[in-house]
Structure 1
Amino acid sequence: MPEMTVLLTYLAVLIGFVLFPGPSILLTLARASTSGTRAGIATSLGIGFGDVIHTLLAVIGVSAVIMASANAFLAVKVLGAGYLIYIGLRSIFDKTPLQSQMELPLITPAKAFRQACLAEVLNPKSAMFFLAFLPQFVVPSQGYIASQLLVLGLLFVLVGTIATLLVALGAGILTRTLRRSSAVLHWQGKVVGTLYCALGIRLFFQQR
């Protein structure tokens, strides 16, 4: 089990993520606004289920690497930090309009769940994110690496799913707000990108 101070820091970071529209939020919002609330909820649950799978894979892979050697941990740390900084910079400088990410065809809830789950499981960016994000909140000296990763991963899934469910339920209002607000369109990528970069820098300087 992670230390309480680590858990509180982790939860604060997760809340920071869900306050701004990321890929999961945008996909759920798009599904709910085009295919209805039930499709949005199904999309949210599909993404959450896919993230549970990523969590289990990260627990198996990362815990083994961290326990193997200091050099292996250093490699994971450097690669993870580099990836977080990379996607952070991509988010900051990405000029893709938010509206273009919200144009999806009509779909049933069952199909929305299957597509969201499959897309999340097969998305290498999601896998890399879990491998890069979770280890920086692990304290190896506390022992029980696998259990720490599992708790962190499931908390990520819980917070993310709650956020996307709320988005699905309030899709109509959120869609109108996001499409009207040029400030949200301009700053959402920059804020999320800055969070990624900060996490990457933090991970790079983390000690084993």
Structure 2
Amino acid sequence: MIAQLFAAAGVLALLTLVPGPDMAVVTRRSLTSGPADGYRTAGGIVAGLLVWGVLAVVGLAAVLAASAVAYTVVKVLGVLYLLYLGIQALWNSRRSAPAAPVSEEAPSLRSGGGSAWRTGLTSNLLNPKIAVFYTGLLPSLAPSDLSVPLGLAILVALHLVMTMAWLSGYVYLVSRARSVFERPRVRRAMDRVTGVVLIAFGVRLATEGA
């Protein structure tokens, strides 16, 4: 069982490190609103994974993954949300006078903590690939000596810890270089880049098959 857990941890680590919409959302929040909002966004993402994990353990996520209609509904909502975030970032990049830098201690002037958490939660919940991942891949990684629900619960908990650790470390690294990103030209460029990336993820999600 230990060997299977180590193998599963390796697969989960690789999947956690692969850049995706969650990382793009965390990047934008960290740069525009400061590291505190970046951590809150990461917390929202992990909360979304927890919801998916609970649904997977009780079997409801499998229903979504197997239902073309349900999958399509979540997929469309996810696409629209990613496009909204991308367009919002591009719109912000058009401002001639960027917002003043936000200190790590001060509350964000451009978004509230609850808003950052909800952004992370929503972006994750509206990603139907998580349902497919938790119902298609995780069961195959679960230790054979354990019951399926218990094995899934352990892997979900492991994935949550990995994701929070990775995103928190990423926010810290971004915050260390924030003085560079706060320069007007750099901030506008980053808004444009993250906007294009979020739109690209939305388009990719829209064009990929279920």
Pair 1:67-2:81 in alignment? no
Counterpart-to-counterpart distance in 2, 1:120 and 1:72: 27
Pair 1:197-2:199 in alignment? yes
Residue 161 of structure 1 aligns with which residue? Answer: 168
Counterpart-to-counterpart distance in 2, 1:2 and 1:75: 31
**Share of identical aligned residues, percent?**
17
Residue 36 of structure 1 aligns with which residue? Answer: none
CA-CA distance at 1:72 after TM superposition:
0.8
Aligned CA distance change for structure 1 residues 27 and 191 (closer, same or farther; 3 Å): same
For structure 2, the 5+ residue unaligned runs are: 1-7, 141-151
Aligned CA distance change for structure 1 residues 101 and 137 (closer, same or farther; 3 Å): farther
Aligned residues: 181
Whether contact under 8 Å (2:42, 2:168) holds in the other structure is yes
Whether contact under 8 Å (1:55, 1:150) holds in the other structure is no
For structure 1, the 5+ residue unaligned runs are: 30-39, 109-114
Alignment of 1:10-159 (within 5 A): 11-14=17-20, 17=23, 21-29=27-35, 47-60=41-54, 64-68=60-64, 69-94=67-92, 95-96=94-95, 99-100=98-99, 102-103=101-102, 106=105, 116=113, 120-121=116-117, 123=118, 125-133=119-127, 135=129, 138-139=132-133, 141-142=136-137, 144=139, 155-159=162-166
- The amino acid across from 1:64 in the alignment is L
Whether contact under 8 Å (2:52, 2:125) holds in the other structure is yes
* Partner deviation per Cα, 1:69-96 (whole Å, 9 max, x = no partner): 2211111111111211221122122235
Task: Pick the aligned partner of 2:178 from 174, 177, 185.
Answer: 174
Counterpart-to-counterpart distance in 2, 1:9 and 1:52: 14
Counterpart-to-counterpart distance in 1, 2:169 and 2:97: 22
Which stretch shifts more, 159-168 or 141-150?
Answer: 141-150
TM-score w.r.t. length of structure 1: 0.61
- The amino acid across from 2:189 in the alignment is W
CA-CA distance at 1:191 after TM superposition:
1.1
1:144 partner SS: helix
More helix per residue:
1
- The amino acid across from 1:193 in the alignment is G
TM-score w.r.t. length of structure 2: 0.60
* Partner deviation per Cα, 1:148-191 (whole Å, 9 max, x = no partner): 877766554333211112244x2xx632x234451x12211111
Residue 4 of structure 2 aligns with which residue? Answer: none
Aligned CA distance change for structure 1 residues 98 and 174 (closer, same or farther; 3 Å): farther
Which stretch shifts more, 92-101 or 193-202?
Answer: 92-101
Aligned CA distance change for structure 1 residues 132 and 126 (closer, same or farther; 3 Å): same
- The amino acid across from 1:158 in the alignment is A
